[in-house]
Amino acid sequence: MSAEIVNLRQFRKKQARSEKEKEAEQNRINFGRTKAEKNLTKALNDKAAKSHEAGRMDTPKADE
């Protein structure tokens, strides 16, 4: 049984690079949007909220 010989220093560096790349990818997803894209998303969310509120029925209060 012969196991593959691994240089731990190189392995740790490779693993650290991999972790940094994963974090960078996540940051690209979270923060890599243009101002126009952010404004569009905000406008769509506002429109959806207004549409949702427009469909709300007012319930009579029990005190009256």
Q: What is the pLDDT of residue 33?
A: 87
Q: Which DSSP state fits 55?
A: T
Q: What is the pLDDT of residue 36?
A: 94
Looking at 1-64, list the stretches that DSSP marks H as alpha helix, in order from N- to C-terminal side: 8-31, 35-54
pLDDT digits (tens, 9 = 90+) for 6-58: 899 999 999 999 999 999 999 998 888 889 998 999 999 999 999 998 887 77
Q: What is the pLDDT of residue 46?
A: 96
- Residue 29: partners with Cβ closer than 8 Å, 6 or more residues away: none
Q: How many CB atoms lie within 10 A of CB 33?
A: 13
Give me the residue label for tokens 């972790």: 19
